[in-house]
């Protein structure tokens, strides 16, 4: 839907410069969007930094069309850190000048059992995602963080602890919570052997959290060149997953494996590494499905699970945990004008380990 065709109430709205994809093959170019007027419970945030998640690339290129087709123009970005420039009259958590974060959700129905238990990511509503979700207030779809500003209900904005580097904190809003939440849910702890598959934005946070939780951590990578970095980031061991002999050495030995790989790969090769009664959890969301061998699960009563981001309460807990433990993302800062090249590099696994857009470059 074109900007002009949006059925909006324009009073009090503002415009913001942004970067948008106009189609699955257009790449991203400059675009102007409208942000809603600040309601009593809203904050308006001037965006300082926005992380670049592989989900942005999947959605910009409409790779998830069977599950959540992309509506164009699409302004991606759900790892947002910025400064509150306006706070509505009922806002309690923030005042003007505070630093705030926004992750993958900007609203939910708040009444379903999932919302009641603080897991808005599973809202029956469903949740309103930060971009490419129906925008119930302005019409059209929501627009994400590759933009100068965003207006969001304070209930979906996070407090960013002062100790955190702001650019390094941005990726925590998705890559951080997506790896923290399943490790907490499956109770990753000292004495366990934990695997992380893939060393990208999610994977490098997975290593840091598994290490901080006291586990013996093994990274599985297709890129032998990442070995030294993996050790620096928290891996006790590194396995090059294309080497069958190296994989076989770890058969039946893992308490938990978190799979962050962004493209199709053989899940059975990892399932056979899991111990009796333990779990492998997918967070990576490849475009194409992968066959599962029943036997990989039957033997040793293994479980294969999935997980998506985390609730707002847990996202705040994760940010506070990072501040307390000196954790943040390792980033490469880019101006927004380099976003298309950054996507190409992401596809080659060529990022250390998260691109973050310096939004000052949009001005």
Site for ligand NAP, rule CB under 6 A: 53-55, 58, 174-175, 178, 198-203, 221-223, 226, 260-263, 265, 283-286, 307-309, 346, 349
Could you tell me if 357 and 363 are in contact, meaning their C-beta atoms sit under 8 angstroms apart? no
Task: Tell me which of Zn ion, ligand NAP, none is bound by residue 200, counting a contact when its beta carbon lies within the kind-specific cut-off of 5 to 8 angstroms.
Answer: ligand NAP
Contacts 24+ apart (CB under 8 A), 286-289: 286/261, 286/262, 287/58, 287/63, 287/64, 287/263, 288/264, 289/264
Q: Residue 35 or residue 265: which is nearer to ligand NAP going by CB?
A: 265
CB of 51 to ligand NAP, least distance (A): 9
Q: Which residue is nearest to Zn ion (CB)?
A: 53
Q: Which residue is nearest to ligand NAP (CB)?
A: 200
Q: Residues interacting with Zn ion, by CB under 5 A? A: 53, 55, 174
Task: Tell me which of ligand NAP, Zn ion, none is bound by residue 201, counting a contact when its beta carbon lies within the kind-specific cut-off of 5 to 8 angstroms.
Answer: ligand NAP
Distance from C-alpha of 3 to C-alpha of 35, rounded to nearest angstrom: 12
CB of 96 to ligand NAP, least distance (A): 31
Could you tell me if 123 and 109 are in contact, meaning their C-beta atoms sit under 8 angstroms apart? yes
SS3 content of the chain, % helix, strand, coil (to 5): 30, 25, 45
Q: Residue 100 or residue 170: which is nearer to Zn ion going by CB?
A: 170
Longest dimension (CA), the chain: 65
Q: Residue 87 or residue 322: which is nearer to ligand NAP going by CB?
A: 322
Distance from C-alpha of 145 to C-alpha of 83, rounded to nearest angstrom: 13
CB of 263 to ligand NAP, least distance (A): 3
Q: Residue 38 or residue 339: which is nearer to ligand NAP going by CB?
A: 339
Q: Residue 147 or residue 260: which is nearer to ligand NAP going by CB?
A: 260
Distance from C-alpha of 325 to C-alpha of 70, rounded to nearest angstrom: 37
Report residue 228: phi and psi, to 5°.
-65, -40
Minimal CA–CA distance to 130: which of 108, 103, 169? 103
* Residue 348 neighbours by CB distance under 10 Å: 8
CB of 322 to Zn ion, least distance (A): 16
Minimal CA–CA distance to 22: which of 33, 14, 31? 31
Task: Tell me which of Zn ion, ligand NAP, none is bound by residue 231, counting a contact when its beta carbon lies within the kind-specific cut-off of 5 to 8 angstroms.
Answer: none
CB of 181 to Zn ion, least distance (A): 13
CB of 82 to ligand NAP, least distance (A): 20
Task: Tell me which of Zn ion, ligand NAP, none is bound by residue 253, counting a contact when its beta carbon lies within the kind-specific cut-off of 5 to 8 angstroms.
Answer: none
């Amino acid at each position: 839907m074109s900007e002009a065709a949006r059925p909006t109430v324009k009073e009090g709205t503002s415009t913001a410069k942004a970067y948008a994809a106009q189609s699955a093959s257009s790449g991203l170019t400059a675009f102007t969007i409208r942000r809603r007027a600040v309601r009593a419970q809203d904050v308006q945030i001037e965006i300082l930094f926005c992380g670049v998640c592989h989900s942005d690339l999947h959605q910009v290129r409409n790779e998830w069309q069977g599950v959540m087709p992309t509506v164009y123009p699409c302004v991606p970005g759900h790892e947002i850190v910025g400064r509150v420039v306006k706070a509505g009259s009922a806002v309690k958590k923030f005042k003007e000048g505070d630093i705030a974060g926004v992750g993958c959700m900007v609203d939910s129905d708040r009444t379903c059992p999932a919302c009641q238990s603080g897991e808005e990511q599973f809202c029956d509503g469903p949740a309103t995602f930060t971009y490419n979700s129906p925008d119930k207030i302005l019409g059209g779809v929501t627009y994400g963080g590759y933009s100068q500003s965003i207006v969001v209900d304070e209930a979906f904005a996070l407090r960013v602890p002062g100790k955190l580097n702001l650019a390094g904190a941005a990726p925590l809003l998705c890559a951080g919570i997506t790896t923290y939440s399943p490790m907490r849910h499956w109770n990753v702890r000292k004495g366990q052997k934990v695997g992380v598959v893939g060393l990208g934005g999610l994977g490098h946070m997975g290593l840091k959290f598994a290490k901080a939780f006291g586990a013996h951590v093994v990274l599985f990578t297709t890129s032998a060149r990442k070995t030294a970095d993996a050790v620096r980031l928290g891996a006790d061991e590194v396995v090059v997953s294309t080497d069958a002999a190296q994989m076989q050495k770890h058969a039946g030995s893992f308490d938990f494996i978190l799979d962050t790989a962004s493209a199709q790969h053989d899940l059975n090769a990892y399932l056979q590494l899991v111990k009796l009664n333990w779990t492998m959890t997918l967070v990576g969301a490849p475009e194409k499905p992968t066959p599962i061998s029943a036997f990989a699960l039957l033997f040793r009563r293994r479980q294969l699970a999935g997980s998506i981001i985390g609730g707002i309460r847990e996202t705040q807990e994760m940010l506070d945990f990072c501040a307390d433990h000196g954790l943040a993302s390792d980033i490469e800062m880019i101006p927004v004008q380099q976003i298309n090249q950054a996507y190409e590099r992401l596809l080659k696994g060529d990022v250390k380990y998260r691109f973050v857009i310096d939004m000052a470059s949009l001005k």
